[in-house]
Structure 1
């Protein structure tokens, strides 16, 4: 990916700025591929993230606070994400019997089944995005990214 070509400049960018623009362009590409891989399932990457978090609860309910803490993309509209997943039948929301102010969210069997199908699409997208990298490249890249 040539940064200068993509942003259509003939000027050589300073290394620091070029690096950050490059990371931003890569992030946009990753988002585009992930969004397209989830499109047939009518789920956004954020909704997919909520479903994965709920599956990771292994049958235990989560609340909105737990979802917010564990989201890859931090956002304040987790309630809206959950509402959309309820409409699709992928999750359900109940009031906790011991604390009526607490809302519990669980993934449904339909949600687990749909998530399994999404996993296949996401795995294929990841494979395509990373096809030019060796395992050693990925370890090195992750070490560099950890420096942030």
Structure 2
């Protein structure tokens, strides 16, 4: 009954709907916490995520499509994100020599510096889940992995149906 009261519903169709709503509801709390944290560094969570990916690839430059593929938020506009990071001096963007339609993105020295300062404070984000034991956190990760697998299966089934109907 707790979740029902929190989200203003009298009941759920079944436990799967209740689990979905609970994940979405919890995502809102996590998302707000992350955005507040990164705001202290004049950055968004997506910008940090992009810099993290670029740092992990350094010194190899990456394309916008590679960045989009690795982002946590698959719906983010990677081109606009890179433009904002470039305007802040956190990345360097150059044209790809072998394919003029692509750009090479590399984290700048300033980008390295800001991500290092953020990294030293990341434990603050861990505090949001400290009500779980380490074992419970591990179990949650495993359960969410199963959920993502189930979602991918449903998406593939829908895509197959759409292709048959075309």
Whether TM exceeds 0.5 here: the answer is: yes
Deviates more, 1:46-55 or 1:115-124: 115-124
Q: Any stretches of 5+ residues in structure 2 without a counterpart?
A: 148-166
Secondary structure of 1:92's partner?
Answer: strand
Equivalence for 1:130 = 129
Q: Is the 8 A contact 1:34 1:122 kept in 2?
A: no
**Between Structure 1 and Structure 2, how many residues are aligned?**
146
Distance 1:44 1:76 in 2: 12
Deviations 1:57-85 (A, max 9, x none): 02110111110111111125111000000
**Structure 2 counterpart of 1:146:** 145
Structure 1 gap segments, 5+ residues each: none
Structure 1-normalised TM-score?
Answer: 0.89
SS in 1 for 2:120: helix
Q: SS of 1:61's equivalent?
A: coil
Secondary structure of residue in 1 paired with 2:122: helix
Query: Which structure has more RCO (C-alpha within 8 Å, separation ≥ 6)?
Result: 1
